[in-house]
């Protein structure tokens, strides 16, 4: 299956994980700057959506801390 079929799932996983890490919706929106999680942290080819969600949320959290 092509990656495009999973973009919604990838984004949902990243958002869910970031909120579980403790970011508020406002903080997450600020880090993303109007972009989707997959725009800020692109999924790797054949990456499992759950693995992507954890990795993306970690990278988003680092961006939040460094901001």
Helix (H, G, I), strand (E, B) or coil at 38: helix
pLDDT in the model for residue 2: 43
Q: How many C-beta neighbours within 10 Å does residue 50 have? A: 13
Question: Would you list the domain boundaries of the chain?
Answer: 3-66
pLDDT in the model for residue 1: 39
Query: Which of 36, 37, 49, 41 shows the shortest CA–CA distance to 10?
Result: 49
- pLDDT mean for each 10 residues of the chain (67 residues): 62 95 95 94 95 98 95
Helix (H, G, I), strand (E, B) or coil at 35: coil
Distance CA 52, CA 15 (A): 11
Rg (CA), the chain: 11
């Amino acid at each position: 299956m092509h990656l495009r079929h999973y973009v919604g799932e990838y984004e949902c996983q990243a958002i869910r994980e970031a909120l579980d890490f403790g970011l508020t919706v406002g903080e997450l929106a600020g880090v993303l700057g109007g972009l989707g999680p997959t725009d800020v942290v692109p999924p790797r080819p054949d990456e499992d959506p759950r693995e992507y969600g954890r990795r993306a949320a970690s990278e988003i959290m680092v961006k939040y801390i460094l901001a």
